[in-house]
Amino acid sequence: MILLCPGSAKTQKFKRWPIKKYVELGKRLKVSGYQVEFLIGNDENELVPYLDDFEIHTELSLSEIYNLTHKIDLSICNDSFLMHFFSLFSTKTLAIYGPTDPNRTLPPETLQIKSKISPPTRPCWGKPYYGKCSKGICSCLDGIEVEDLFKEVFNILT
């Protein structure tokens, strides 16, 4: 099972890869024969309406999330708590990186994908303009396309 985790903390929404891209990725993976589910946290309920075609896990306790680790072949997360949580329990994890520096915050054994476009302000973590992105989504996520993740998933799982 591939678990897609499109959220992040309420104060870190700008670090989210767009939900529509997560949905498109999920649909492509399903068509390719993968079981795809979503995990949505307490602060992320606004994402649920986009996920009609998927099984959704919402508002789980930490022990319930831990129980999911035994069923997951791959988790795909933004740079978020869940990325660190799954990595801690040796769940194969692909992290989508935008404004933060994976050289600083990527857990060992965690895989990463980041944009081929490198804005001059990246990484902005720890700088005065951190989280002050236009459009509410970090431009550091521009250039990460569904096809990029789809190919990466295929490479990881085959």
**CATH for 53:** 3.40.50.2000
Asked if 3 and 38 count as a contact pair (C-beta separation under 8 A), the reply is yes
Q: Which domain holds residue 70?
A: 2-157
pLDDT beneath 50: ranges in the chain = none
pTM: 0.89
pLDDT at 42: 85
pLDDT at 129: 57
Question: 93 CB contacts (<8 Å, ≥6 apart)?
Answer: 74, 75, 76, 77, 83, 86, 87, 107, 110, 111
Q: Total domain count for the chain?
A: 1
pLDDT at 124: 63
pLDDT at 16: 87
Peptide bond into 128 cis (omega under 30): no
